[in-house]
Amino acid sequence: DTAVSQTPKYLVTQMGNDKSIKCEQNLGHDTMYWYKQDSKKFLKIMFSYNNKELIINETVPNRFSPKSPDKAHLNLHINSLELGDSAVYFCASSRRGGQGNIGELFFGEGSRLTVL
């Protein structure tokens, strides 16, 4: 029973297209995230989101937008894809950090996006 699941696992598309990656967690967590891992394996946070607040990393282009239909889902929509968007995108979830919560992140399997 997968805790954090993402679809699709692989996505190959042309420049200029719009695509979405879906993420679902069944851990009952209240905060979800999107991370980007580039070809050098560097991990950078893109967004964190709970049902009250979206925090955006200021370096993320506004072509990227998170959409959350409910607290168990956080989808990533990307407009006008560019070559530099090719990467592995990881969804993660946690209980919001605070007293009694250790803030540990649980990651999905990743979605490898290739833009041609």
Partner 1 sequence: ELKVEQNPLFLSMQEGKNYTIYCNYSTTSDRLYWYRQDPGKSLESLFVLLSNGAVKQEGRLMASLDTKARLSTLHITAAVHDLSATYFCAGRGGADGLTFGKGTHLIIQP
The least distance separating partner 1 from the CB of residue 16, rounded to whole angstroms, comes to 28
> Whose Cβ is closer to partner 1: residue 48's or residue 75's?
48
Q: Which residues bind partner 1 (CB under 8 A)?
A: 31, 33, 40-45, 48, 50, 55, 90, 96-97, 102-110
Minimum distance of partner 1 from residue 86's CB (angstroms): 15
Least distance in angstroms from the C-beta of 41 to partner 1: 5
Largest CA distance in the chain: 46
Structure tokens that stand for 2 in this block: 């997968």
To the nearest 5 percent, what fractions of the chain are helix, strand and coil? Answer: 5, 50, 45
